[in-house]
């Protein structure tokens, strides 16, 4: 892929922007209305940014306003989210980025997923009786994989951006050093997680006041250690995180508490440029993340199965539509449990899993009007042979570039452990491995030998940054957090636009459903008709209403206009255009 450099200077960002109090008056701005008339997307012609935090959106939007491209804005947004949304934005985790340029038909995927430390072993999360110990894999220093975010963002900027890493980090430094105003969601998150965070002195001093009390909405939150870390990275480059003072602080944290990440692990870490998964749905080209994400393969697999049904005729969230979606989902998730893992370690039958012929075989096995018990389903033969608190953002620019990025530290606030003196949270992504094949992880997902713990291996993910193209033109840029529900959340926004002709805000806001094979239930959000639920239950489906799923940030490009849809499920989300 070739994205011609712009080499335009980026002007200093306005300090008022970071206080979140004023908006740039020289550009057209309108926010998606999330109450009442909440189905109207933001419209723009020269660029669009949709993130899960308004301060990150505004930081990235200013980069576009100053002539930067989508990749410049994406890296800026990612570092800003690491400051303003520490529960999921990060420099201590990893993720995936898709980049598409209309000047080049290729779509590239950057894999900056975390890796297991070199001293990791298959049995490291088993107790003396051979049972999986979730405390070790989730809430200890052993839970952390080698972080990839800083290296991945720097690679994206170096290959496809037009500004320097220091320029991209500058807004984040300002937000960390001068602070930002605490929102109700931020305050509640720290209150809800206090028992887990406050037990670590390094975390307690960052997230709570000196007297132990909580930060309240309207107060200013400052992170001097994180600001110092970001300044070092800005001055010395990405290698500072992996070989400099920040690396020394991270390794000291590990050595003090029995963790495994070493200086050698950090020095050896490299992001990877991969070929994305590609499928076609009703004439639209769908590009999504390849392994070690399972997202792209199974989005395409489910779409392939559903393509043979007249989904638009059945209607949005009608009983028949949901029945067929659930049946397709459970078959894909059954396959996920056996076949998916890090392709650097195993052979994933990606061609077979995404083949139209394989989908036809599965489609023909779906009953028309009754549920297939999950207990009767097993991973099929497709020969030839990803936390709830992840965050996603989508960005497009006026030059024809699009970025879809999803990154995470896994749980809300990751392991709960801040690197003392460095100010950032450690991930707990090691729980995404199969600690013991056949035992579900925190999201209820089963895994097998393909995703067992191995040294230097990337753990399986559900993160699914996705770009849909029509006639070689960017059409839809989307992705979501949500653990095991990322795949189905992203799937439904694609279907809502293509099958049900929704505008992007309606597609993002509409109630969602989810089935992941095991447990054998259709999970639904509030808003599904009671009559529909009754009809599904009469088919033999177990239907369970649970809290909202995902927080998908999406952009649709059509007829020269850009339409941004911010997910109202995350109160700080913001779409903003030029």
The DSSP-derived string for 390-414 is: -EEEEEEETTSEEEEEEEE-SSTTT
Q: What is the CATH number of the domain that holds 327?
A: 3.60.20.40
Taking alpha carbons only, the member of 474, 456, 442 closest to residue 563 is 474
At residue 383, the pLDDT reads 59
What's the half-sphere exposure (Cβ side, CA atoms, 13 Å) at 513?
A: 30
Burial class (CB in 10 A: 0-12, 13-18, 19+), 243: middle
Domain assignment present for residue 441? The answer is: no
Look at phi and psi of residue 159 and say left if phi exceeds 0, alpha if psi is from -120 to 50, else beta. alpha
- Mark whether 390 is an active-site residue: yes
DSSP E strand stretches across 94-251: 94-101, 104-112, 180-181, 220-221
At residue 39, the pLDDT reads 76
Any bridge partners for residue 402, and if so which? 100, 396
Domain assignment present for residue 472? The answer is: yes
Any bridge partners for residue 220, and if so which? 181
DSSP E strand stretches across 421-538: 466-470, 473-478, 513-514, 522-524
Domain assignment present for residue 526? The answer is: yes
Domain assignment present for residue 126? The answer is: yes
Q: Extract the tokens encoding 382.
A: 């497709």
Spell 352-379 as b/e; 16+ CB within 10 A means b. bbbbeebbeebbeebeeeebbebeebeb
Q: Indicate the number of domains in the chain.
A: 2
Domain assignment present for residue 300? The answer is: yes
Co-location of 346 and 471 in the same domain: yes
Alpha helix stretches (DSSP H) within 237-294: 239-243, 245-257, 263-268
Burial class (CB in 10 A: 0-12, 13-18, 19+), 297: buried
Taking alpha carbons only, the member of 425, 448, 525, 46 closest to residue 203 is 425
Q: Extract the tokens encoding 319.
A: 């009983």
Its domain, for residue 185, covers 50-272+392-430
Co-location of 90 and 186 in the same domain: yes
Domain assignment present for residue 9? The answer is: no
H/E stretch holding 170 reads: helix 165-178
Write down how long the chain is: 578
Distance between CA atoms of residues 244 and 233, nearest Å: 9
Co-location of 380 and 426 in the same domain: no
Co-location of 197 and 314 in the same domain: no
Domain assignment present for residue 247? The answer is: yes
Taking alpha carbons only, the member of 350, 348, 346, 347 closest to residue 457 is 346
Co-location of 59 and 129 in the same domain: yes
At residue 446, the pLDDT reads 58
Q: Extract the tokens encoding 406.
A: 């999803």
Co-location of 300 and 377 in the same domain: yes
Co-location of 420 and 529 in the same domain: no
Any bridge partners for residue 470, and if so which? 473
Q: Do 549 and 482 form a contact (C-beta atoms < 8 A)?
A: yes
Tell me the three-class secondary structure of 427-440, residue by residue.
CCHHHHCECCCCCC
Co-location of 242 and 375 in the same domain: no
Question: pLDDT 10s digit of each residue in the chain, 578 long?
Answer: 544 433 333 333 322 222 222 222 222 223 333 333 457 999 999 999 999 999 999 999 999 999 999 999 999 999 999 999 999 999 999 999 999 998 888 899 999 999 999 999 999 999 999 998 999 999 999 999 999 999 999 999 999 999 999 999 999 999 999 999 999 999 999 999 999 999 999 999 999 999 999 999 999 999 999 999 999 999 999 999 999 999 999 999 999 999 999 999 999 999 999 999 999 999 999 999 999 999 999 999 999 999 999 999 999 999 999 999 999 999 999 999 899 999 999 999 999 999 999 999 999 999 999 999 999 998 887 755 445 679 999 999 999 999 999 999 999 999 999 999 999 999 999 999 988 766 666 656 555 788 999 999 999 999 999 999 999 999 999 999 999 999 999 999 999 999 999 999 999 999 999 999 999 999 999 999 999 999 999 999 999 999 899 999 999 999 999 999 999 999 999 999 99
Co-location of 258 and 340 in the same domain: no
Domain assignment present for residue 438? The answer is: no
Distance between CA atoms of residues 275 and 352, nearest Å: 16
Co-location of 370 and 412 in the same domain: no
Q: Do 431 and 139 form a contact (C-beta atoms < 8 A)?
A: no
Strand duo 473-478 + 466-470: pairing: antiparallel
Q: Which residue is catalytic, options 149, 320, 390, 408?
A: 390
At residue 373, the pLDDT reads 96
| 209 contact partners, CB below 8 Å, separation of at least 6 | 215
Q: Do 139 and 257 form a contact (C-beta atoms < 8 A)?
A: no
- pTM above threshold 0.85: yes
Co-location of 306 and 363 in the same domain: yes
Co-location of 194 and 256 in the same domain: yes
Choose the final residue of a domain: 430, 448, 483.
Answer: 430
**Hey, CA dihedral for 491, 497, 498, 501, is it positive or negative?**
positive
| 195 contact partners, CB below 8 Å, separation of at least 6 | none
């Amino acid at each position: 892929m070739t994205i011609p450099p712009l080499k335009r200077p980026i002007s200093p960002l306005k300090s008022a922007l970071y206080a979140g109090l004023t908006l740039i008056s020289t550009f057209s701005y309108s926010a998606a209305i999330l109450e009442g008339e909440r189905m109207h997307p933001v419209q723009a012609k020269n660029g669009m940014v949709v993130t899960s935090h308004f301060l990150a959106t505004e930081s990235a939007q200013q980069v576009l306003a100053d002539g930067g491209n989508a990749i410049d804005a994406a890296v800026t947004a990612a570092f800003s989210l690491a400051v303003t949304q520490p529960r999921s934005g990060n420099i201590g985790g990893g993720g995936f980025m898709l980049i598409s340029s209309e000047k080049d038909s290729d779509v590239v995927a950057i894999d900056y997923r975390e890796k297991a430390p070199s001293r990791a072993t298959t049995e490291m999360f088993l107790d003396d009786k051979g049972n999986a110990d979730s405390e070790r894999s989730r809430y200890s220093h052993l839970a952390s994989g080698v972080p990839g975010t800083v290296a991945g963002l720097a690679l994206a900027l170096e290959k496809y951006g037009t500004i320097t890493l220091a320029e991209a980090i500058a807004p984040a430094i300002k937000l960390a050093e001068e602070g930002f105003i605490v929102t109700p969601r931020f305050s509640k998150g720290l209150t809800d997680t206090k028992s887990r965070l406050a037990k670590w002195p390094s975390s307690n001093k960052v997230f709570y006041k000196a007297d132990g009390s909580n930060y309240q909405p309207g107060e200013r939150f400052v992170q001097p250690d994180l600001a110092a870390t970001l300044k070092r990275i800005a001055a010395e480059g990405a290698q500072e995180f992996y070989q400099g003072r920040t690396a020394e602080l991270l390794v000291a944290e590990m050595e003090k508490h029995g963790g495994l990440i070493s200086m050698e692990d950090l020095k050896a870490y490299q992001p990877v440029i991969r070929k994305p998964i590609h499928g076609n749905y009703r004439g639209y080209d769908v590009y999504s993340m390849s392994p070690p994400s399972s997202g792209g393969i199974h989005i395409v697999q489910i779409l392939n199965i559903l393509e043979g049904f007249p989904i638009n005729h059945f209607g949005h969230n009608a009983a028949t539509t949901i029945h067929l979606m659930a049946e397709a989902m459970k078959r894909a998730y059954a396959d996920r449990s056996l076949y998916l893992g890090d392709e650097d370690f195993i052979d994933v039958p990606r061609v077979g899993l995404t083949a139209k012929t394989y989908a036809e075989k599965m489609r023909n096995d779906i009953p028309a009007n009754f549920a297939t018990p999950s207990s009767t389903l097993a991973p099929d033969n497709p020969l030839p042979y990803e936390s709830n608190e992840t965050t996603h953002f989508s960005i497009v620019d006026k030059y024809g570039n699009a970025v879809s990025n999803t990154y995470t530290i896994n749980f809300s606030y990751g392991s709960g452990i801040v690197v003392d003196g460095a100010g950032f949270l450690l991930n707990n992504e090691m729980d995404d491995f199969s600690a013991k094949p056949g035992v579900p992880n925190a999201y209820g997902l089963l895994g097998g030998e393909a995703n067992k713990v191995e040294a230097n291996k990337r753990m399986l993910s559900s993160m699914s940054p996705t770009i849909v193209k029509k006639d070689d033109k960017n059409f839809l840029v989307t992705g979501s957090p949500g653990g095991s529900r990322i795949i189905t959340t992203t799937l439904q926004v694609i279907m809502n636009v293509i099958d049900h002709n929704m505008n992007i805000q309606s597609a993002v806001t509409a109630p969602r459903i989810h089935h992941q094979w095991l447990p054998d239930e259709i999970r639904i959000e509030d808003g599904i008709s009671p009559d529909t639920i009754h009809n599904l239950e009469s088919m033999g489906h177990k239907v369970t209403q649970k809290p909202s799923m995902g927080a998908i940030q999406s952009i649709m490009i059509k007829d020269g206009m850009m339409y941004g849809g911010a997910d109202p499920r995350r109160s700080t989300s913001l779409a903003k255009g030029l």
